[in-house]
Structure formats: structure tokens, C-alpha cells
Amino acid sequence: MKTDNSGLETSLEQSPDLEPQPLSWVVKPAPRAKSPAPLPSSGRLWAVLILLVSVGLHALALWIPFGQEQSLEEAPDEEEAIALTQLTPSEPESAEAIPTPPPEAPRATPPVPTARPQAPQPSRTIPAVASVTPVTNPVTPGRSEAAGAKPETDLFLTEFPRYPGAKPGVLGLPDAYAAFSQNTEAALNPVANFFETELQAKGYTLQDLSEQASRRVYLVSKGDTRQYLTLISNPEGAGTNILLSPKELPEDLGSANIISQEELDFYSDLPIPTINNEEWQRLSEPSFLLAQPDAFVAEIDPENFVERLRPGIQRALVATQHPDSQALFAELQTRFQVAYFTIEPSGNYGGGQLYKITRDGVTGYLSLVPTQDGTGTAIFVWNRAPV
């Protein structure tokens, strides 16, 4: 038996007479077109089994790729979960880099409530500071002057003594001074004695700047507050005017209708040293100190032997340690220039030098007169030219 290339088996024993032919006759389409012979029962059983097995294998084959697809579908879920877990650490980085508002919002919210409770706290402490003076005293003087100047002024005015029976207003003076003036029917000397005694008793410091028959000027201070107390006799009759002002007033209040703020500042800002008991003293007896007293003294009160200076003199004092009037002028000239005053020589008067002073349209005069004993120089401030 031989097997050809087509896979068909040919028996040589059935046709021994036939000679071998080429293999081409064996493979013909005609025999293939014939239907196969029916299989025996055992063959049918095997065919059914093979069919069931093939169906099962196909089902298994179909089920296997379906399971792989599920695994593939689950895989991206796991990757997504992994991606989420990877994003969680990156979220703080992005929160720090890009979304700055979220961290700023919680940071901004705490100071807002803290700032709001702090706002009412200063308002509560302000009256405490203003009312309690010991709190401002231990603080540096610069702060106490800036923050507690007004309360100290209020205390200064509240505790300032009042002359018994004094009434608001002026007697024989311009109405411009009525706002800060009082008057009494008492004479000048009793009123002056009252204030000298009461002010010292209440802890005020008193400096006598001018003593005349009809006028007294005191520089009153307590703490960091200073005021000028001016006592002027009624030029029209009996009585005394009591004036308390932050600036020193001109002498001839009766002849002045309107006094500008520039004029008040002019005389109060003059860099003339204040009177003390050492170097700068009050000029009490110009008739004995000056060679030409008539140039500065108008009259002498026969009762009290008080010399009344000429009208127009705002201040009068003696520099006891400055016998050289020219050297004294050089020292005062620097002070005047620092205070924005213009000072220039204006001739001679009363045995000394006369100087013209100007600032802000206001003009005054300064006299420097050596004393007769040669120990000092008398200083006179005029609000008008003496000649």
C-alpha cells in the first residue's frame, strides 16, 4: 500500500495487472464531489463527542478573552487609583505653588478677628491714659508732651486760682481780650498779692516779668505747661483786669484795637532769655542802673516807689554777666536768626544801641544799654520806635 501526496491510500494488490501510473490520476475532482458514505453508529458517537468538545472549547475560548478583557478593564481602574494616590502627594505641592489663596485665606482670617477686638481696646485705654496722669509721667518726656499736653493744660487751667468775686470780661480794654479775661473792683496790688500767694501754695512756678504801677506780668508754669498772667489796672477808673494767655501780651492794650496772631507770636517768640536769679534778672530800679533813666522811665509811683516804664516797652531785664553790649548783641543775633527774625542796627538811644527787629510784617525794637556800674547790660524790647 502506498500513500500519495494527496493523502489517499492506494492498494496495489487489488490491481496487480495494472502498471503504475503517474500520480496525477489519483487526485481528481470527481471522486471528491461525491458525498461521503454514512458513518457507523460508533462513528456517529465519536462525532457527537467531538462536536461537544469543540463547542466546549469554543465556549472556553470565548470565555477566556472575556476574562482578559475584564482584567484589562480592571487594570485601568487600578491605574486610576494609583494615579489618585500619586496626586495626593502632589496636591500639597500644587497648593503651595499655585493656589496661594487657600493658605492665605486661613492665615488672613485669624488676624481679622484679632484686629477687630484690638480696635475697641485702644478706645478703652484712651480715656484711661487721659484721666490717669501717673501713667504718662513714667513715659519719656517726648511722649508725654505730645500725648498728654492737652490733659496737662486742662489740669493747669482747672486748678488755677480764681480771684474771689471776679467776673468775666474786661474793664477799659478792647473787647478782643474779653474771651480770656476777668475783672474785679479790687486794686492791682491786692490782686497781685493774692495770685503770688495762691499760685505758690498750689505748686505753680511764678516768675515776675514786669512790675509797673498799673501792670504786672507773670510767667506761670506747672509741669510742661506755661501761661502768662497779666494784671492791668482799669485805665478808665477803679478795678483790675486779670488776663491769662498762652502768649505774652503787648503792653499798650488800651491803644490797640486789633492784635493779630502774628503780633502775638512776634513778642512771645522773641529769643530773649527768661528772668532768673543768676544771669538774667528783672530790671527793678532803672533810675539807679542807667545813665539816662528818663529815656526808659515814664514816672515813679509815690506810694509804692515803683518806676513805671515808658509806653511801648514790652520787656525789661538786665544781663548781669554781660558788661559788653556788643558781645551780647552778637550772642542774641544768632538766636534771632535761628528764630527767623531779622535784626539790624537802628542808631543810638538812651546811652546804648538800638536795633530794629522784623518778622512776618511785624516790627519791634531792641535796646541794649550798659549799666552805670559796668557789671551788666540792660535789655528793653519795644513795640514801637522810641524816637
The whole-number pLDDT of residue 301 equals 66
Q: Residue 14 has which C-alpha cell?
A: 487489488
Q: Please give the pLDDT value at position 259.
A: 63
Q: 189: Cβ–Cβ under 8 A, 6 or more apart, which residues?
A: 304
DSSP H helices, 159-276, are: 188-201, 261-268
Between 56 and 195, the higher pLDDT residue: 195
10-30 pLDDT, tens digit each: 444 444 444 555 444 444 455
Residue 147 in this model has a pLDDT that exceeds 50: no
What's the CA gap between 222 and 267, in Å, rounded? Answer: 22
C-alpha span between 358 and 18 (Å, rounded): 164
Share of the chain above pLDDT 70, in %: 60
pLDDT-based confidence at residue 379 (cuts at 50, 70, 90): very high
Higher pLDDT, 371 or 303: 371
In a domain, 93, yes or no: no
Alpha carbon distance 156, 351 (integer Å) = 42
How far apart CA 140 and CA 133 sit, in angstroms, is: 13
Looking at the fold, whether 369 and 354 belong to one and the same domain comes out as yes
Distance CA 342, CA 31 (A): 148
For the chain, the maximum distance between any two Cα atoms, rounded to a whole number of angstroms, is 197
Residues 280 and 382 in one domain: yes
Q: Are 286 and 305 in contact (CB under 8 A)?
A: no
Do 188 and 176 lie in one domain? The reply is: yes
How far does CA 67 lie from the centroid of its chain? Answer: 78
Q: In what order do the strands lie in the sheet with 167-168?
A: 167-168, 181-184, 240-245, 225-233, 215-222, 205-211
Q: Which residue has the higher pLDDT, 329 or 96?
A: 329
49 part of a folded domain: no
Same domain, 225 and 325: no
- Report, as an integer, the average pLDDT of 350-371: 94
Give the side-chain half-sphere CA count within 13 A for 164: 4
Residue 80 belongs to a domain: no
**Which residue, 259, 278, 313, sits at the end of a domain?**
259
Position 336 scores a pLDDT of 94
Residue 112 forms part of a structural domain: no
| pLDDT value of position 82 | 42
Ramachandran region of residue 165, left (φ > 0), alpha (ψ -120 to 50) or beta?
A: left
Q: Are 240 and 232 in contact (CB under 8 A)?
A: yes
Q: Which domain holds residue 245?
A: 148-259
242 pLDDT band, cuts 50/70/90, is very high
CA distance 83 to 87: 6
Mean pLDDT for the stretch of residues 337-348: 93
Q: Which residues of 156-175 are buried (b: 16+ CB within 10 A; e: fewer)?
A: beeebeebeebeeebbebee
Give the number of other CB atoms < 10 A from CB of residue 83.
Answer: 11
Domain for residue 109, yes or no? no
Dist. CA 189–CA 42, nearest whole Å:
162
pLDDT of residue 58: 73
Count: domains in the chain: 2
Q: Which of 259, 288, 312 is the last residue of a domain?
A: 259
273 pLDDT above the threshold of 90: no
The answer to whether residue 225 sits within a structural domain is yes
What pLDDT sits at residue 308?
80
CA of residue 243 relative to chain centroid, distance: 37
Q: Are residues 152 and 234 in the same domain?
A: yes
Tell whether 190 and 292 lie within a shared domain. no
182 and 169 Cβ atoms separated by less than 8 Å: yes
| Average pLDDT of the residues in 245-260 | 67
Say if residue 33's pLDDT is above 50.
no
285 plus 269 within the same structural domain: yes
Q: Are residues 238 and 154 located together in one domain of the fold?
A: yes
In this model, does residue 234 exceed pLDDT 70?
A: yes
**Residue 160 in domain:** yes
pLDDT for 61 beyond 50: yes
For residue 305, the Cα-to-chain-centroid distance in whole angstroms is: 57
Same-domain check for residues 275 and 369: yes
- The answer to whether residues 270 and 383 belong to one domain is yes
| pLDDT tens sequence across 163-185 | 999 998 888 887 777 777 899 99
Mean pLDDT of the chain: 72
pLDDT for residue 152? 57
Of 214, 234, 259, the position where a domain reaches its end is 259
What would the pLDDT profile of 106-146 be if each residue is shown by its tens digit?
Answer: 444 444 444 444 444 444 333 333 333 333 333 333 333 43
Q: Is the pLDDT of residue 97 over 60?
A: no
pLDDT at 380: 94
How do beta strands 215-222 and 225-233 pair? antiparallel
Helix (H) or strand (E) holding 208: strand 205-211
Q: Does a structural domain hold residue 195?
A: yes
Most confident of 9-13, 47-51, 311-315: 311-315
Q: Are residues 272 and 372 in the same domain?
A: yes
Burial of residue 315 (CB within 10 Å: 0-12, 13-18, 19+) is buried
Q: Are residues 299 and 182 in the same domain?
A: no
State the distance between the two ends of the chain, measured CA to CA, in whole angstroms.
Answer: 173
pTM of the model: 0.40
Range 238-249 average pLDDT? 88
Report the pLDDT value the prediction gives residue 212, as an integer from 0 to 100: 82
